[in-house]
Amino acid sequence: MAEIGPLLYLFTLSLFNSGFKLSAKDYLHFLPGLLVLVVMLSAKWQFLNISYYLFTAHFFFYLFLTWIYILKNKEQFRPDDLKWKWANYVCLG
């Protein structure tokens, strides 16, 4: 669940930018999920409960960030109506 938000954001960036390539900086989006995976192996259930709420908030942050990106570039993306609709449907889904 921790990686869905960054994947959504990076997917949206790549959808509208045909020259998009993942950089080393982009991999930092996945660091929180990897850290929790390592800690989870030795943690108790209380940590898992807290981490679930944190990653739910993490996902909503990336969903919000994706919608801001789409709306900020609305005039540029609007001519390609199919991609515009697809990005909105993915975010709503």
Express each pLDDT in 36-71 by its tens digit: 778 777 777 777 778 888 888 889 999 999 999 888
Say yes or no to pLDDT of 76 above 80.
Answer: no
The 3-state DSSP class for residue 26 equals helix
Average predicted confidence (pLDDT) for the chain: 84
Which of 65, 70, 78, 49 minimizes the C-alpha distance to 7?
65
Say yes or no to pLDDT of 81 above 70.
Answer: yes
Q: How far is CA 61 from CA 29, 31, 43, 54, in A?
A: 12, 15, 25, 10
Say yes or no to pLDDT of 82 above 90.
Answer: no
Helices 31-40 + 45-72 axis angle, to 10: 170
pLDDT bin (cut points 50, 70, 90) of residue 80 is low
**Whole-structure pTM value:** 0.81
